[in-house]
Structure 1
Amino acid sequence: MDNMSRKLPIGIQTFEKLREGNHVYVDKTAFIWKIASTETPYFLSRPRRFGKSLLLSTFEAYFEGKKELFEGLAIAGLEKEWNEYPVLHLDLNAEKYDSPRKLNDILSNNLTRWEAEYGKGEDEPTLSLRFSGVIRRASERAGRGVVVLVDEYDKPLLQTLGNDALLEDYRQTLKAFYGVLKSSDRYLRFVFLTGVTKFAQVSVFSDLNQLNDISMKPQYATICGITRQELEATFAPELERLAEANRLTREDALDKMEALYDGYHFCEFSEGVFNPFSVLNVFDGYKFSNYWFQTGTPTFLVELLKKSDYDLRVLLDGLEAPSSSFAEYRVDANNPIPLIYQSGYLTIKGYDAEFGNYLLEFPNDEVRYGFMNFLVPFYTSVPDEDKGFYIGKFVQELRVGKVDDFMSRLQAFFADFPYELNTKTERHYQVVFYLVFKLMGQFTDAEVKSAVGRADAVVKTPKYIYVFEFKLNGTAEEALQQIDDKKYLLPYQADGRELVKVGVEFSAAERNIGKWIY
């Protein structure tokens, strides 16, 4: 196959279709063989569009004995028997869960399909009894254990966050349904469940005490996603075309891909992986863009952040936490970090072995700037379609020394604050400063205060270095004096660029920037 006719598996989540269509495939079958050689039930949490559905489809093809699909892959040299097992594959990803009936319907629909093949019991009035009956009859007919694969087990729960009554209804339904996997253990050969989030209260984790959660185990850290080695080996022709199309060297193209799409770490000290969805889309059109972030807006995460009154500045700078505070999500804990981490907006970037704390940060620039851009309309009056224009103008104005224009534009970010934010503390106004300067960081060297003895913000352009100090319930003169008293300019005296100090006062009464001096 020549380079121009290589087929990328964009949107393909079925292993059989991928292989029969001769699409490019990153070989993960050594993981399949290793995991399938045991009979332990498994659980894997990974962000959306990270290859979980394709992984389960690969297990399905393997357990159905479709040896021909695996020719030329790693598993072909490992598996000798290729036995066939009955496979029950439940995919909860497609439905919109907005009423109790929706979950019941999709579970019943799958059960009806399985009952058409393995028979229906006479006295099985509930979903869980029907599921138990299907597993038993399938095993007895095949003379082997049954394979159960559940894709996106938590989709109904994620879609009902904020609707406590419906969430509880779904939780009870799934608790009984997944509980069958423990009571039917004698009839099961293999169980694998995937999802975005590990909900602590769902009985699949409390009842299935033998469940092997491999989400943070180092030997499975790269089971989903693409390592740099896999990227270079599998997509060599696409990398060359990408570099050529963007007038970059091959190494520069790789570096840009790393900055945008790499950096996911699912346990301490593990190799990082690229987001597969973004990688495939970059190679499809040879344009760098925020592909993964644009496929699903994290509105429910923003609502959780607002509800919990979480300090966004901590999130934007990165935070340290033990695994117990982000590995499982508890609806009643008022802690949004597990959902933010498990949804892929934060990842592991460091580990303190002495205290057992993990450093969680944005994985890459696609997520970092995508997330911050998404926050702007929730915390300011700037419409979603105008936020890029505003940030670009901020940078342009400081590059040419137009401090007054910059400050006037900054005022617009505070005009007509949403009512619910008007009654909040000064933290919400500080968050806006954080968002502005952090977003400027994608175009220029901008930073906001992260340590004692630093100015509130520093922006470096080719010609100028700006040092900002903001005062809430203070004066611009006092802010300017603090820059002098604390010697905030001292680290930049030998730089050679023109130094500009800017003192700004913020009026709590007017909820906006008042006076500034520079």
Structure 2
Amino acid sequence: MKRHMTGKKKEYTIDRDCMIKKFRVGTDDFKKLCDEGGYFVDKTLFIKEIIDGNEVTLIPRPRRFGKTLNMTMMRYFFERSEESRAYLFDSCAIADYPEYMKHQGQYPVIFISLKDLKRDSYDHFIKATKAEIGRLYREFLPISESLPEAIRDRYLRICKEESPEHELYNSLKELISHCYHFYKKPVIVLIDEYDSPMIEAFSKGYYNEMTDFMRSWLGAGLKPEQGQVLYRAVITGILRIAKESIFSDLNNLDVASPLMIGPYADKFGFTEQEVSRILTAFEVEGHADIIRDWFDGYSFGGHIIYNPWSLISYIQAIPNPPSPKWLNTSSNALVYEELTSGGLLIKRDLELLLSGEELRYPLSENITFGDIGKNPVNIWSLLYYSGYLKADDPKFAEYDPNLLTYALSIPNREIFLAYRQFVNRLYETGTISAGIKDFISFFLENKTPSVLEQTLSDLILGLVSVYDVAKLPEAVFHAFVLGLLANLRNVYEIRSNVEAGYGRADILMIPKTGSYSIGYIIEFKSVKKEGDGVKAASDGLAQIREKEYMAALLHAGVPMEKIVKLAVTLQGKKVTVKKE
């Protein structure tokens, strides 16, 4: 269904889903998108949910998932303006709700984005904040004429960016109050990417000062006693920073976590139904499998969600093949820093993810930056909220019936490549980089066991401390090798702990179609006494034969003469490999 409508200055033709002519990659201003004929997936019922929702709402979602576009959409819906903006919504889903359309154009709206306030020091942050708040105050400059002289002087100091730091603490609270009394209407506050400068502060060493500022600024502006003058406040970001850090004064705060079923769950990113309509509109239905493989895999509040930025970029680039579009975002630096500084268990889990395995951990909805590296749960929570993990199948832990855990996995091929990028950087040192090449060539060229022994020994010493090596359990060593084998996924199907013959093989490597026709069976054996590595490896080969693990490779079409059996042991820093 289409409606033809005329605005004051130009005509607009907008279909039922606000899907107009073509994507405008990088455009996150709702009005500009519509005025320029951009293709817009209708998320206007987000406005209805905000009206029906809590006074103050925090919505954490990954970067590039449409947060800023939704925030500007709300601005143009609610904001008082000289020229009507109702035409932007006349053919959208919200137009079917007249009682909600009554709110259109009725409120003073304070819109502020913090994404550009990242600075290398706290002093520079304060300077940038003075400029941003000064700009905001200048938007409402006519208000100053109605203020008492002393308050007007402070207002104008902020406009001129001349106010001392302490006057900034109450700047949001005072602007809300001024707007309410001037317009005789409660105020809507929209704060986009609130955590962007906080992430930067953490990496640059002034996180505590930043926390104090944000607690004062947000706490004063949005606390419950502002209820008479504040209609709604919506805050977006990537993370929910722990309440005790900056939200301690906001008892009226509702957090719409992506883990929760309820409002807002399908309003960021594209649902399967929306993607289907997009593919039909652009006549690229034949690319559905590629798009699902590369950009699907997220689960927000029970909805299957696609990464919108990456999907749009791919469709715009057709017929070019897909490539990672989302990896060079500013949150990568923090993610990489935490992964590389993590301990042995983090490296083991990272390698399990790369091999296609799931992890099971609780996820913390409250993240305190100072504690991220102290607990693996915090690191996986950071990865989940940043868009690098999918969380499914919530279950209470067997060891703690009050602790909810999730099955964590890599959501799609694009994010798999991000992890590979992290691992490649982790392994970039000369010895490690050469070791990985030798590891790969051992399997592709079917080299002698001594090559694998030396390669694994070098890699372990390069990536794990000597102390950790001494206590490295078989399961962790298994996961370590499994992670390295992720480099061979283009030519091998890697299976771990899989039923084979009359038992369970540690690792099976089934060659994909192509020239690498050798299949591998790998068995890990623990060594109990010094000097028993050779015997344990021999026992491993015997186990492969006796349990007939070869049956799985034979069933996959690998002939017996192309099956190589490997038994691997680790004792201290010595690796032993037996092969037949």
* Common fold by TM > 0.5: yes
Deviation readout 1:77-127 (Å, 9 max, x if unpaired): 324322332211121112333211233223322221233324364468421
Aligned runs of 1:44-59 on 2, under 5 Å?
Answer: 44-59=59-74
Q: CA deviation at 1:351?
A: 2.6
Residue of 123, 126, 145 corresponding to 2:167: 126
Contact 1:381 1:413 in 2 (8 A): no
**What is the alpha-carbon distance in structure 2 between the residues aligned to residue 196 and residue 206 of structure 1?**
19
Q: Hey, what does 2:123 align to over in structure 1?
A: 101
Aligned runs of 1:419-438 on 2, under 5 Å?
Answer: 421-423=464-466, 424-425=468-469, 426=472, 430-438=478-486
Q: CA deviation at 1:410?
A: 9.2
Q: CA deviation at 1:379?
A: 4.1
Matched, 1:228 2:272: yes
**What is the alpha-carbon distance in structure 2 between the residues aligned to residue 191 and residue 444 of structure 1?**
51
Structure 2: where are the runs of 5+ without partners?
1-12, 14-19, 145-150, 155-162, 528-532
Matched, 1:272 2:335: no
Q: Hey, what does 1:185 align to over in structure 2?
A: 227
**What is the alpha-carbon distance in structure 1 between the residues aligned to residue 44 and residue 564 of structure 2?**
58
Contact 1:221 1:265 in 2 (8 A): no
Report the 3-state secondary structure (helix = DSSP H, G, I; strand = E; otherwise coil) of the residue aligned with 1:404: coil
Contact 2:438 2:455 in 1 (8 A): no
AA partner of residue 290 (structure 1): P
Alpha-carbon distance change, 192 to 385 in structure 1, aligned in 2, over 3 angstroms: farther
Q: CA deviation at 1:438?
A: 2.8
**What is the alpha-carbon distance in structure 2 between the residues aligned to residue 344 and residue 483 of structure 1?**
40
Alpha-carbon distance change, 59 to 140 in structure 1, aligned in 2, over 3 angstroms: same
**What is the alpha-carbon distance in structure 2 between the residues aligned to residue 58 and residue 468 of structure 1?**
55
Q: Hey, what does 2:213 align to over in structure 1?
A: 173
Contact 1:90 1:151 in 2 (8 A): yes
Residue of 69, 78, 82 corresponding to 2:88: 69
Q: CA deviation at 1:412?
A: 5.4
- Over alpha carbons, which structure has the higher Rg? 2
TM-score normalized by structure 2?
Answer: 0.76
**What is the alpha-carbon distance in structure 2 between the residues aligned to residue 387 and residue 363 of structure 1?**
29
Q: CA deviation at 1:458?
A: 0.9
Alpha-carbon distance change, 63 to 187 in structure 1, aligned in 2, over 3 angstroms: same
AA partner of residue 457 (structure 1): I
AA partner of residue 325 (structure 2): Y
Report the 3-state secondary structure (helix = DSSP H, G, I; strand = E; otherwise coil) of the residue aligned with 1:288: coil
Deviation readout 1:159-195 (Å, 9 max, x if unpaired): 23355x5111111111111102105332211100011
Report the 3-state secondary structure (helix = DSSP H, G, I; strand = E; otherwise coil) of the residue aligned with 2:495: strand
Alpha-carbon distance change, 43 to 405 in structure 1, aligned in 2, over 3 angstroms: farther
Q: CA deviation at 1:420?
A: 6.6
TM-score normalized by structure 1?
Answer: 0.84
Alpha-carbon distance change, 254 to 131 in structure 1, aligned in 2, over 3 angstroms: same
Alpha-carbon distance change, 444 to 295 in structure 1, aligned in 2, over 3 angstroms: farther
Aligned runs of 1:61-460 on 2, under 5 Å?
Answer: 61-65=76-80, 66-78=85-97, 79-81=100-102, 82-116=104-138, 117=141, 118-119=143-144, 121-122=152-153, 125-161=166-202, 166-180=206-220, 181-182=222-223, 183-202=225-244, 204-215=246-257, 216-240=260-284, 250-251=285-286, 253-267=287-301, 270-286=302-318, 287-295=321-329, 298-309=332-343, 310-315=345-350, 316=353, 317-322=357-362, 325-330=363-368, 331-332=370-371, 334=375, 335-352=378-395, 356-379=404-427, 381=429, 398=444, 402-404=445-447, 408=451, 415=458, 421-423=464-466, 424-425=468-469, 426=472, 430-449=478-497, 454-460=504-510
Contact 1:394 1:409 in 2 (8 A): no
Aligned runs of 1:458-477 on 2, under 5 Å?
Answer: 458-461=508-511, 462=513, 463-470=517-524, 474-475=533-534, 476-477=537-538
Q: Hey, what does 1:43 align to over in structure 2?
A: 58
Q: CA deviation at 1:407?
A: 8.5
Quote the sequence identity (%). Answer: 24
AA partner of residue 517 (structure 1): K
Contact 1:381 1:414 in 2 (8 A): no
Alpha-carbon distance change, 505 to 497 in structure 1, aligned in 2, over 3 angstroms: closer
Structure 1: where are the runs of 5+ without partners?
241-249
AA partner of residue 238 (structure 1): F
AA partner of residue 209 (structure 1): N
Count the aligned residue pairs.
494
AA partner of residue 506 (structure 2): D
Alpha-carbon distance change, 405 to 299 in structure 1, aligned in 2, over 3 angstroms: farther
